[in-house]
Structure 1
Amino acid sequence: MVAQTEATEIDRAVKARLRQMWALGDYPAVAEEVIPDLGAVLVRAADVQAGDRVLDVAAGTGNAAIPAALAGATVVASDLTPELLTAGRALAVRRGAELEWQQADAEALPYGDGEFDRVLSCVGVMFAPRHRASADELVRVCRPGGTIGLLNWTPEGFIGQMFAVMKPYAPPPPPGAQPAPLWGREDHVRALLGDRVTDVVTRRETVVVDRFASPEAFRDYFKTCYGPTIAAYRGIAGDPDRVAALDDALAEQARRHLKAGAMRWEYLLLIARRCG
């Protein structure tokens, strides 16, 4: 019982840390200004229809949830970070979308078995620390014959490589956590979902990002707006040499990818049908 209590307290601390990280900066701006159409790509690929019951897991500000609602689905947008849900509600009002917003942990979703026709996550569930637990929940809340649709950054793509650049400077991951970009590997996601799904379709695609005029502009924007980058810098704030080294590393990474004023960020799109 003591060990279980300690494990629960550690889990609460981990989730509190994640909530705080994603509340840093201005992720709503990142979602709206840098990758505004990415959620709609997932909604189309998952063939969301009017009348579908849809759950967007780790929805953030509703990058997928809002397009699903505008397609006529009955949508619940769930996320661990209440600040993102608040921003999502305001964005939904501006776009004329009606949906439900709920704070929820991707590793322990507060929904019934088979409650949703389509379960989606757009660069969201990948950041939950325990991949198996999250995958189990995605499958559990999807009805038999329903669709699971995932869009995640690949390890080899720009964002995956950015996390590799930041890793030596970032706070250590919590015990049992797996790297987020693994969700961008087809073999990893197939292993997580296992024989509980069928008709799996995957493809690697890129989103064109033309928001940044220079490598330094990208770096400074992410230092200001993107929670994981802000957290990395906060952890080394007392060491000017390490701050300068991370500055250089992020700018150099952007420089390698920035061509004719644009970057291409690779993601894995995976659509599967729950067995049963």
Structure 2
Amino acid sequence: MPGMSDDQGRHRGEIGTMRDDIGGVDTGAGGTWASGDYARVGNRWLLVGELLCETAGIRPGERVIDVATGTGNTALAAARRFADVTGVDYVPALLEHARARAAAEGLDVRFEHGDALELAHPDGAFDVAVSTFGVQYVPDQERAAAELLRVVRPGGRIALASWAPDGYLGELLRLVGRYTAGASGDAAPTRWGTAKHLERLLGPHASSLECAERQWRFRFRSPADMIGYFRAYFGPLTVAFDVLDDAGREALTADLTRHIEAAGAAPGGTVEVPSTYLEAVAVLAS
């Protein structure tokens, strides 16, 4: 594959891990989300979890599970609404960060090491399942959706915020896939960011499914600043730059720069790049 280094055996193994692990389901040795520093990236969209909990109507005393919680943005937002919250993620370092954040705020949240494809909870254990830019990365999308449906009681709610195919994150993930043989088509994480896909995954089990496109804006000093930030801290891009050779890294950087310059010119030479995401709430049939 153009842009790959000569050590094909090692790199194919790493790429395979990236594809399998990209949503917190680690079936290999790499650990994409343990690469970089997701806490730094996740801090940039703290408000998305708050907005999702508002749209979902989280109420005091409700049992809420945040799947692929990362550093706990949405779990903490639910806990601030006095819900009984459990956060699940596969990466121990992210869970440690989430626990520290909860302790700093004096919030009572259970953070558990677990697999989004095999949640360690009985059927109907929760009133609400939430996930913000999390479960969409799990490679087996049907099984991930089935687990969300299983652990939420009849009449309960599933609330999701998922990056859409258009916008910066969608383009970033497409470029990573193009350069590293990552997931595309039916397996693309950004399919969760389309109402059509969620209708297929959740619609048959829901009495209602409401979807709305939102935009999150990334603000950086320059295209180079933005690329450097995501390269250092956003696991999929960190891994991509690690497995590409010099020519591949140069080409990927050029593609990212062109996209940012086209989408994000702002006053003073800075960049403001919009990234579309889908906010969705499904109410399950009783």
Q: How high is the TM-score relative to the length of structure 1?
A: 0.89
Verify: 1:28 aligned to 2:39, yes or no.
Answer: yes
1:182: which partner in 2?
191
Name the SS for the 2:26 alignment partner. helix
- Aligned 1:39-188 pairs, distance under 5 A: 39-173=49-183, 178-188=187-197
Which deviations, in whole Å up to 9, do the C-alpha atoms of 1:183-203 show, x marking residues without a partner? Answer: 001111110113211221110
Q: How high is the TM-score relative to the length of structure 2?
A: 0.86
Counterpart CA distance in 2 for 1:47 and 1:19 is 37
Percent sequence identity is 32
- CA change 1:173–1:192 in 2 (3 A) is same
Verify: 1:213 aligned to 2:224, yes or no.
Answer: no
Task: State the number of aligned residues.
Answer: 260
What one-letter code is carried by the residue in structure 2 that aligns with 1:138? L
Which deviations, in whole Å up to 9, do the C-alpha atoms of 1:4-34 show, x marking residues without a partner? Answer: xxxxxxx89x7243871100111011111x2
Query: Which 5+ residue runs of structure 2 have no aligned equivalent?
Result: 1-19
Query: Which 5+ residue runs of structure 1 have no aligned equivalent?
Result: 1-10
Verify: 1:250 aligned to 2:256, yes or no.
Answer: yes
Counterpart CA distance in 2 for 1:55 and 1:262 is 33
1:3: which partner in 2?
none
Counterpart CA distance in 2 for 1:129 and 1:80 is 14
Note the aligned Cα RMSD (angstroms).
1.9
- CA change 1:52–1:154 in 2 (3 A) is same
What one-letter code is carried by the residue in structure 2 that aligns with 1:241? A
Name the SS for the 2:259 alignment partner. helix
Counterpart CA distance in 1 for 2:186 and 2:27 is 15
Counterpart CA distance in 1 for 2:211 and 2:113 is 29
What one-letter code is carried by the residue in structure 2 that aligns with 1:259? A
Counterpart CA distance in 2 for 1:170 and 1:221 is 20
2:234: which partner in 1?
226
Name the SS for the 1:97 alignment partner. coil
Which deviations, in whole Å up to 9, do the C-alpha atoms of 1:66-89 show, x marking residues without a partner? Answer: 010011001000011111111111
Query: Once the 2 structures are TM-superposed, how far is the Cα of residue 96 of structure 1 from its aligned partner?
Result: 2.7
Query: Once the 2 structures are TM-superposed, how far is the Cα of residue 241 of structure 1 from its aligned partner?
Result: 1.2
2:213: which partner in 1?
204
2:200: which partner in 1?
191
- CA change 1:19–1:94 in 2 (3 A) is farther
What one-letter code is carried by the residue in structure 1 that aligns with 2:263? H
Name the SS for the 1:262 alignment partner. strand
Check whether the contact 2:202–2:282 (CA below 8 A) recurs between aligned residues: no
Of 231, 246, 261, the residue aligned with 1:240 is 246
Check whether the contact 1:170–1:231 (CA below 8 A) recurs between aligned residues: no
1:259: which partner in 2?
265
Query: Once the 2 structures are TM-superposed, how far is the Cα of residue 235 of structure 1 from its aligned partner?
Result: 1.1
Which deviations, in whole Å up to 9, do the C-alpha atoms of 1:190-221 show, x marking residues without a partner? Answer: 101132112211100111222x1111111000
- CA change 1:184–1:89 in 2 (3 A) is same
What one-letter code is carried by the residue in structure 2 that aligns with 1:193? L
Name the SS for the 1:17 alignment partner. coil
What one-letter code is carried by the residue in structure 1 that aligns with 2:250? A
